[in-house]
Chain A
Amino acid sequence: MRRGPSLFNLASLGLGLTFLYAPIVLLVVYSFNDSRLVTVWGGFSLRWYGELMHNEQLLASVWMTVRIAALSATVATLLGTLAAVALTRGGRFPGRTIFSGAVYAPLVTPEVILGLSLLLLFVAVGAPRGFWTVSAAHTTLTLCYVTVVVQARLASFDRSLEEAAQDLGCPPWRAFLLVTLPNIAPAVAAAWMLAFTLSLDDLVIASFTSGPGATTLPMRIYSAVRLGVTPEINAISTLLIGLVATGVIAAYLIQTRGVRRASR
């Protein structure tokens, strides 16, 4: 039997979580600060949120960012799921090492390198930089995350269910669509969410591959941050954090329900 957590364990958990959450909590709290100064509490106010609503440039970049994230997450989920199927079920095929290398490497490759190399590609083929180039770049970045998430689920999926469907006369692709896909759907949905938020967050790759007229939200936040800490950035950050946290917790609940159903 495992012993329960000791005092030392509880202390490390407490300190660890405080370290992770304190800066975020402070940021959120100070977004409601009426004073412009970071360290002076001037009373509760929503004025910075009100000012955001009138910032047309900012709203335009939010819309641009969301569109890029939705498109790139969708393409990455399609390609990443295919890659996961090939890696879990393809056995040893020629070129497998290069393939899995290309799939996992973007996970850890520094973003400046991904950004620079993609920019050179777009310059070489003469693609006008903007919405499409950032979307393609983000698809490349997020594809590997999708593969890892889906692969973990596929590996634990009982293959015999699909084989049973085929024994009963179901063509393989239909068996995949009707039996396997519904089973891995929670993982695929979670992977899409992950890809979406990664794209939403990315500053470095977007800066390299974007052009005039396609400024994303992180690019706007970055140029504002360079000029100093302002309550407006706190407000937009709080909105983003709230949005993402809601999405992640929802995805978590969906996934745990899916796992429970699958194990029943």
Chain B
Amino acid sequence: MSAQHRDRSRAAAIAPFLWLGLFFLFPFLLVLRLSLSDIALAVPPYAPQLDLSAGVDGVREFLAALDFETYGRLGGDRLYLAAYLSSMRIAAISTGILLLIGYPIAYAMVRCPPAARRALVLAVILPFWTSFLIRIYAWIAILKPAGLLNAALGAVGVAPLNLLNAALGAVGLAPLNLLNTEAAVHIGLVYAYLPFMVLPLYAVLERQPAELLEAAADLGCTPVQAFWRVTFPMSLPGVAAGALLCFIPMVGEFVVPDLLGGSQTLMLGKVIWTEFFANRDWPTASAVAVALIVTLIVPLTLFQRQQQRLLEGGR
């Protein structure tokens, strides 16, 4: 490839870079700055203001006026810590469930004949294209107390939920209701993110040469041994890609915990939303956002590397 050619290709980066600089990178600095502003003055325009016309003194004054009060409050308040920990826990558990469910699906897709494989990829992607909000909404109708799940169980005559509820009622407990529980949040997250787990797994599994398994068989491996010694270790990049692709956005997820988790489920995405829209406390919302970004930087960097290797490998 000629150097001149490469230069021209690089010039193509200018417009998207400017756009992302203005609309993606720069706004992060604004969030950081706002998180260090005074709460009392937290209505636009926020104090302190950076006065660049005052030169170095202006910058020094600005830096001196920044304070970490908001962060102090975040650290001191149990609510934020609890939300932080439960976000991590819920995202980690859901990622684990996704791996357990997604791997067999991706593996089964690869074992199908090529024509069926293409159709199956489309079948897995299709729900991802339909509205996230609508798919989560669909689960409300299923999980709510007088919902379709209970109706279905009742129709088959099993009614384990009703029996359980009767038992619970007898000892004076509230009836079991899946909606507005953490279980519902897991169901929603697994449901919404399943395509993101299956597709990276499918991509690595599909590229594995079938001859490897033959070789393993020739060397005396049983199919199960061959899976654990050849197929699975070789699919680990896909496992990592899928896990990161699901875990990172799930930590900050808002729609699922809000609609399915009810008021007891605490997650950071919901905290940011509430601080912002209900409490109108912009500095606190920003501080929570900064804490979230800082936590996600390591997985984000890993994801970055993965993407680069995946899309630009061998160049």
Contact = CB atoms under 8 A, between A and B. Distances in A.
Interface of A: 1-6, 8-10, 12-13, 16-17, 19-21, 23-24, 26-27, 30, 38-39, 78-80, 82-83, 85-91, 93, 95, 99-114, 116-118, 120-121, 123-124, 136-137, 139-140, 143, 147-148, 151-152, 155, 159, 172-173, 194, 197, 200-201, 203-204, 207-208, 218, 221-222, 225-226, 229, 233, 237, 240-241, 244-245, 247-249, 252, 256
Nearest to A253: B122
B312 A87 contact: yes
B17 interface: yes
B16 A79 contact: yes
B306 to A, nearest CB: 9
B59 interface: no
Interface string B280-310: 0010011001001100100010011001100
Interface in B211-235: 213-214
A201 B132 CA distance: 7
A140 B191 CA distance: 26
Given A85-B9, A86-B9, A102-B20, A39 B147 contact: yes
B30 A120 contact: yes
Contact of B285 (A13, A116, A152): A116
A23 B311 contact: no
B9 A89 contact: yes
Given A2-B210, A229-B141, A240-B131, A89 B1 contact: yes
Contact of B308 (A6, A100, A173): A100
Nearest to A101: B304
Contact of A20 (B24, B124, B210, B248): B124
Given A5-B112, A30-B141, A121-B30, A204 B191 contact: no
B142 A23 contact: yes
A117 B31 contact: yes
Contacts, number: 287
Given A89-B5, A155-B312, A139 B133 contact: no
Given A102-B25, A113-B31, A249-B122, 19 more contacts: A1-B210, A2-B111, A9-B108, A13-B109, A13-B112, A23-B191, A38-B147, A79-B15, A86-B13, A91-B9, A101-B304, A107-B307, A110-B249, A114-B24, A116-B289, A137-B23, A201-B132, A241-B130, A248-B122
Contact of A82 (B12, B129, B292): B12
Contacts of A83: 12-13, 16-17
Contact of B111 (A3, A86, A105, A225): A3
B23 A200 contact: no
Interface centre among A111, A147, A204 (most CB of B within 10 A): A204
Contact of B27 (A12, A80, A107, A120): A120
Contact of A117 (B12, B27, B132): B27
Given A26-B148, A86-B13, A240-B131, A140 B28 contact: no
Nearest to A30: B141
B105 interface: yes
Contacts of B245: 107-108
Contacts of B25: 102
A137 B24 CA distance: 9
Contacts of A80: 16
Nearest to A120: B30
Given A12-B108, A89-B6, A103-B16, A116 B269 contact: no
Interface string B138-159: 1111101011100100000000
Interface stretch (B64-72, B74-82, B164-172, B250-258): B250-258
Contacts of B101: 16, 19
A102 to B, nearest CB: 4
Given A27-B137, A203-B133, A233-B137, A111 B254 contact: yes
Contact of B23 (A104, A140, A147): A140
Contacts of B255: 203-204
Contacts of B210: 1-2
A90 B7 CA distance: 7
Given A23-B142, A90-B12, A151 B191 contact: no
Interface in B76-114: 101, 104-105, 107-109, 111-113
B276 interface: yes
A112 B104 contact: no
Contact of B142 (A26, A109, A137, A240): A26
A20 B194 contact: yes
